[in-house]
């Protein structure tokens, strides 16, 4: 049975502290339409923005008109590793088959030029390779030589110097082919691309208040028990812009601070974490309100990087959020619960959110309203103190006047 712990509850029934009244007006429901009023037109559905990065992390970019294709051959190892599996297996098979056929053809050609094929029944004749009687047997001998099988039926003799040289060349080149192809397959198999499949991002990002400041938040989690070492998170805003000189920059990339200065971008990803971006004067969302957010067009790309604990190789997981995937005035449900001796993560609530009271104005307007409120409190307190001081001085002045009149009256009576 799970222990009841208010620290892990999704939405507490009683607030921890009294909530402050919102500085900006929250959106209210539209009034009901009267019987004589005309019906309002429905808003036109906004055009769906083309994603720059898909939800599964694939970049939606294709390269066209690449004329310098020779550059792919200069880095043939990376080219082979980046190929799809069906093409990699085809190259792997062809590499061995071509080398076996090539050297088998040379072994057959040597036997043909020496006349070994014409003295197959001559016991006194010493051939270059014993029991080599055609191209098929030459091909089998090439396979045995390159793979170092050595059945012992076909063997090279010491009366064939050109065969000895060819044997050395095939042994060396065969070792190089083995090292190259096995290395490619090993790197391709050990690639940590599939490790990113168990790194999950929340389906939506949310905007709500944290410590009286608007924050953009999303959630990340790791489904495996083996952790990501040195995990770090980054975020980019993809949005077209136009400079003051009139230059149009499509898909301009702007950094979104998720804790680089404070070290919050370095994660200990044992349980799901909520990544927060504080919307301040350095944020690209500083002047964006809820209404402006719904009309804007942008994409937020989030990148999670780290080393796989089992292999030590670097892994990268990506995802993105469009405008309609950013929920204003929402907060993530809690996924942690305290069990008997351990914490349990409930991934059923990983993508779930709930509405909270959030101002609909921009962070700049919220900060200005807070500054006006603080300024009003700053000037109101000294004014009240001054009023109290003035009242005290008036009372003291009145008292001295009364004392003075009494003293004058006593002096007159004595005279």
DSSP states of 213-247 as a string?
Answer: EEEEEEEEEE-SSSPEEEEEEEEEEEEEEE-TTS-
**pLDDT score of 75:** 83
Is 262 a domain residue?
A: yes
* Alpha carbon distance 143, 157 (integer Å): 18
Q: Is residue 293 part of a domain?
A: yes
> Are residue 284 and residue 162 in the same domain, yes or no?
no
Confidence of residue 10 (pLDDT cuts 50, 70, 90): very low
* Total domains in the fold of the chain: 2
Which of 190, 206, 231 is a domain's end point? 190
The CA radius of gyration of the chain, in Å to the nearest whole number, is 40
228 plus 306 within the same structural domain: yes
Residues 4 and 253: their CA atoms lie apart, in Å, by 45
Residue 107's pLDDT is what?
94
Looking at the domain assignment, is residue 273 inside a domain? yes
Helical packing angle, 135-146 and 161-189, nearest 10° = 60
pLDDT at residue 260 tops 60: yes
* Residues near 33 by beta carbon (within 8 Å), at least 6 away in sequence: 39, 40
Q: Is the same domain home to 236 and 348?
A: yes
Q: Are residues 146 and 202 in the same domain?
A: no
- Report how far residue 292's alpha carbon sits from residue 204's, in angstroms, rounded to the nearest whole number: 18
CATH number of the CATH domain containing 337: 2.60.40.1400
292 plus 227 within the same structural domain: yes
Over 90: is that where the pLDDT of 238 sits?
A: yes
pLDDT at 41 over 70: no
- Provide the CATH number for the domain around residue 106: 1.10.287.70
Give 26-31's long-range contacts (Cβ < 8 A, gap of 24+). Answer: 26/329, 26/357, 26/358, 26/359, 26/360, 27/290, 27/360
Domain assignment of residue 6, yes or no: no
Domain that holds residue 104: 69-190
**Residues 112 and 150 grouped into a single domain:** yes
Question: Mean pLDDT score of the chain, rounded to an integer?
Answer: 82
Q: Are 337 and 262 in a shared domain?
A: yes
- Higher pLDDT residue, 340 or 220? 220
- Domain boundary (166, 190, 214) is at 190
User: Do 178 and 238 lie in a common domain?
Assistant: no
- The C-alpha atoms of residue 139 and residue 149 are separated, in whole angstroms, by 13
pLDDT digits (tens, 9 = 90+) for 42-94: 554 556 678 999 998 889 888 888 887 778 778 888 888 888 899 999 999 99
Residue 337 lies in a domain: yes
Q: Looking at the structure, do residues 357 and 217 belong to the same domain, yes or no?
A: yes
User: Tokens 């307190």 appear where?
Assistant: 381
Going by C-beta distance under 8 Å and a sequence separation of 6 or more, which residues neighbour residue 28?
A: none
Q: Are 161 and 177 within one domain?
A: yes
- The answer to whether residue 168 sits within a structural domain is yes
Residues 263 and 127 in one domain: no
Give the pLDDT band (50/70/90) at residue 328.
very high
pLDDT exceeds 70 at position 213 = yes
Boundary-marking domain end, from 190, 221, 253: 190
Question: Same structural domain for residues 205 and 350?
Answer: yes
The answer as to whether 356 is a domain residue is: yes
**4 dihedral zone (left: phi>0; alpha: psi -120 to 50; beta):** beta
**Mean pLDDT, range 231-242, rounded to an integer:** 94
Mean pLDDT of 347-372: 92
């Amino acid at each position: 049975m799970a222990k009841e712990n208010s620290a892990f509850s999704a939405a507490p029934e009683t607030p921890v502290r009294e909530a402050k009244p919102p500085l900006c007006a929250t959106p209210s429901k539209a009034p009901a339409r009267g019987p004589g009023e005309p019906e309002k037109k429905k808003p036109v559905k906004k055009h769906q923005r083309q994603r720059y990065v898909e939800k599964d992390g694939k970049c939606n970019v294709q390269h066209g008109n690449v004329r310098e294709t020779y550059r792919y051959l200069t880095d043939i190892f990376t080219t082979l590793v980046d190929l799809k599996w069906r093409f990699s297996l085809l190259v792997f098979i062809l590499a061995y088959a071509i080398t076996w056929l090539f050297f088998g053809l040379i072994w057959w050609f040597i036997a043909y030029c020496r006349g070994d094929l014409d003295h197959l029944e001559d016991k006194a004749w010493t051939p270059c390779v014993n029991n080599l009687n055609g191209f098929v047997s030459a091909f089998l001998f090439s396979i045995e030589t390159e793979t170092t099988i050595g059945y012992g039926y076909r063997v090279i003799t010491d009366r064939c110097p050109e065969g000895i040289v060819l044997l050395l060349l095939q042994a060396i080149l065969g070792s190089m082919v083995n090292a190259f192809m096995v290395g490619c397959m090993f790197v391709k198999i050990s690639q940590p691309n599939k490790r990113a499949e168990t790194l999950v991002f929340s389906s939506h990002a949310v905007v709500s208040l944290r410590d009286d400041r608007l924050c953009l938040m999303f959630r990340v989690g790791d489904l495996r028990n083996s952790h990501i070492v040195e995990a770090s998170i980054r975020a980019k805003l993809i949005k077209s812009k136009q400079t003051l000189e009139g230059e149009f920059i499509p898909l301009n990339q702007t950094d979104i601070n998720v804790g680089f200065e404070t070290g919050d971008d370095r994660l200990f990803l044992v349980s799901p974490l909520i990544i927060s971006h504080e919307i301040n004067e350095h944020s690209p969302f500083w002047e964006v309100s809820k209404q402006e957010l719904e009309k804007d067009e942008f994409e937020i790309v989030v990148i999670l990087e780290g080393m796989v604990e089992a292999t030590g190789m670097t892994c990268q997981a990506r995802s993105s959020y469009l405008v309609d995937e950013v929920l204003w005035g929402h907060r993530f449900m809690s996924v942690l619960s305290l069990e008997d001796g351990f914490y349990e993560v409930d991934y059923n609530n990983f993508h779930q959110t709930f509405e909270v009271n959030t101002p609909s104005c921009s962070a700049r307007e919220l900060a200005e309203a807070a500054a006006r409120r603080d300024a009003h409190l700053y000037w109101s307190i000294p004014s009240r103190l001054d009023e109290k001081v003035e009242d005290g001085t008036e009372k003291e002045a009145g008292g001295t006047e009364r004392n003075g009149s009494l003293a004058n009256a006593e002096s007159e009576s004595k005279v």
